[in-house]
Structures are given as structure tokens and as C-alpha cells.
Amino acid sequence: MPVLFAAVYAGWVVPQLWSLVVRRVAPEGALAALLFMSLLCLAAVILGWRMGTRRTVNPLAGLLPRVHEGKVGKAAVILTGFALIGFLGLGADPIEAQGSTMWTGHAAIFSLILSIKTASFALSLMYFLRRKTGLSTALLVINVVMFAPYIIFYFRRHVILEACLIAAYAFLVVRSYAVPRVAVIAGLMVTSMGMFAAEEIRGISGEGQVPRLSEIAEIDFLALNPINNPQASPEIENAANLVSAVQISDRYTLGGQFWNRFVFQYVPAQFVGADVKQGLMLTPWPAELTYSVTGYVPSAGSTQTGIATAFMEFWYFGCLLFYFNAYIMGRLWLRALAGNSWDKVWYAAGIVPSLHMVTHHSAVFYVSFSFFVAILTFVAYFLRGNLRANNPGGLRSAGLPAPKA
């Protein structure tokens, strides 16, 4: 994970920070605070990962249930079925609604269910790599089909990231095949350019049309990089203004954003009513606080970044949110190396939400991963795969060296 975080910093954070430094548009004092907070968050990830990957008894071993290896195929079928319900539910909407990222009504519920495709794709691919049967092939094809529209037609960056990382992860943990470093570096360069040109690519794709290579070749990718075009990606500028608003107002939400995100994602307004849902919110959203204090209006569709929202929550101590994220993922990584296919799914489910802590908001891992925990736990116990019964000793009974006295 430290490598993945470093890649996000190098390809996404640094170009935008450079743009702010050159243009000198950040509020006074906010840029220095944002730079320091960025370094703290990255250092917290490194420290959290090192602590999490220490080979001691795994505290997560008794909390997260396991599916018996012989029932992995059944688990893949159930997870794929969950995701397919969401996929077909969204498929019933108009084409422009399917490509949206801000769903409302029943579409919001279907999109939440569809998010389980991260785990279903990981498990089905690992199942296919272990056993090439008719069932494993069919499951893999269904999962690829669920990813395809959001990659080919809508060019959703997070979906592309999910697909690539999970595929690389599956080959690593099943076949012990690591992507060559040259390919990784080349992929990061292409990803960095394509990331900032996403809107241009979506613009030429039309309504469900596949963009032609000739059209993509006409895009000036260098001109869309924040170093050359500051307006190409304004997220870090949003972050600087949010940090400034927090410093001026001296208003820290102390976990309020976590609650807001849980309410926003898991309380359906069509059942309880929009007014009731809004009344459950504890604190103003980051964009609302920024506007009320500084008058700055973020660009539509842009994020506030998890670096800034962590600062909004707990001042510089917000970096601890990144520490605990990395610690949990480190424990899951050890569990994945020592366990069966289901153990590997736990780590796969947390990869992209972890990286979104940098690009989106600081609560995304904890809010999104809780949904995965609920679904995966339900499936595990449905298949009678209780970890406490099968592996009471955690990592120690899984074959890893016992901790030194």
C-alpha cells in the first residue's frame, strides 16, 4: 500500500500542488498547512503499514469470518449474484443515468449493491486462476461484463483502477506473478495523463458509444495536465481553500463527516424522506463550510480530497485516519498471504477505497469497507465458514512463524 499511495501522490497530488505553488492562488498560510498535512498523511501510511505487517497474532483473525476453500465457488456465485442485481437494476435506467456518479432514488440503492463487484471480480478471477471450469469461466465473464461499460463507455477512473489493481493482485497471490516494474512505471505515466483527460474522453464517447482511437489521439494530454493547465483538475485547490476555511473558522467536525457519509450512503431518502435524511446530518459538508467562510465555490464534480477533510475532522491529528487505514490493510495483507481465497478477498475489497482516502474524502475507506464487511460476513456465515471454528489461532495456526518472545 505505501507504493500505491506514493503512486497517487506522484501522479495526482504533486502536479496539482505544483500548480498551486506556481500560480500562488492558495489562501495565505493554507498551502503550507496543506503541504505539511500531505506529508503527515503519507508518513502515517508508511508507519501504519509497517506496524500492520508485523508478524504477530492477527487481531482481525477472529473478527472477519472465512469461507472454507471447498465452498469458494459457491461464495463466488453468491457475490456475483449480488453484484448482478445492482448491474441489471442500473441497466434499466436511461443511458445518461447509467453513466452518472451521483445517483438518487432506487438507482442509489442499485449502485451500492453493484459496488460488491469489487469483491466478486476478485474472487471469481482467483477461482478461475485456480480451477478453469465451466462455472469459474462463466463467473469471470459475468464480472468482466459488469466492469466493461464503465470502462469502455463512461471511462470511470475508479472502475479502471479497480479492474487493474484487482487483476494484478489476483495474479500475485494465486500465481505469484508480479507485474514487471517497467510495465508499472509505463502504466503510471499513461494513467497520470489519462486521469486528467477523463472529461475529454467522456465527451467524445457520446451516449453509449465507444470512442475511436483516432479521436483519443487528437486529445492534447499534456495541455490537460495541471502543470500546464491549472483548471484541468482543481481538487488540491479545493483542499487548500477548505484548509483555509477551517483555519479561519477554527471549526473542526470531530468525526461529524464520518456520520454524514454514513447517513448519505446508507439512509435511503425515498424511504425516510429527504427532510429527515438532511436532518440527520450533524455538520456542514466541506464545500458548504468553504463557501460560507471564504466564498470559494468548488468546480462541479470535483472533490475536496481526503487530506483536507482529515484536517477538517481532527486538525493535523487527522493523519491518524490514514495510519489506521494502513494498519488494517497491513493486517489483511498478512491474513491474505497466510489464508485461503476468501482471506484474499478481504484485502481486495479495501484496495481502492484506501486510495480514495487521498483523492476523495477521509471517511471513504471506513464507510465503504463497512458495507463489504457486512456482505462478506453474511456470505461467510451463510456458508458456515466461521473463522473462529476453522482457524482459532489466526496467523499462527495458518503457518506463519510464531511471534518472538
Please state, rounded to an integer, the average pLDDT across all residues of the chain: 79
The pLDDT-based confidence of 318 (bands split at 50, 70, 90) is: very high
The pLDDT-based confidence of 368 (bands split at 50, 70, 90) is: confident
Higher-confidence residue: 111 or 77?
77
Does residue 104 carry a pLDDT above 60?
A: no
Cα 279 to Cα 100, 219, 294: the distances in Å are 26, 45, 25
Q: How high is the pLDDT of residue 178?
A: 82
Max mean pLDDT among 52-61, 217-226, 319-328 falls in: 319-328
Max mean pLDDT among 28-32, 143-147, 231-235, 337-341 falls in: 143-147
* Helix, strand, coil tally for the chain in percent (to 5): 70, 0, 30
Higher-confidence residue: 185 or 380?
380
For 131-140, how does the pLDDT look when each residue is reduced to its tens digit (9 = 90+)?
Answer: 888 888 999 9
Does residue 48 carry a pLDDT above 60?
A: yes
Does residue 398 carry a pLDDT above 50?
A: no
Which grid coordinates are listed for 100?
Answer: 452518472
CA angle 333, 257, 119 (to 5 degrees): 30
CA distance 195 to 190: 8
The pLDDT-based confidence of 391 (bands split at 50, 70, 90) is: very low
Q: How high is the pLDDT of residue 377?
A: 87
Q: How high is the pLDDT of residue 214?
A: 61
CB-based contacts of 243: which residues, under 8 Å, 6+ apart? 30, 33, 34, 37, 308, 311, 312
Does residue 29 carry a pLDDT above 60?
A: yes
Helix (H, G, I), strand (E, B) or coil at 48: helix
pTM confidence score: 0.80
Higher-confidence residue: 332 or 28?
332
Does residue 194 carry a pLDDT above 80?
A: no
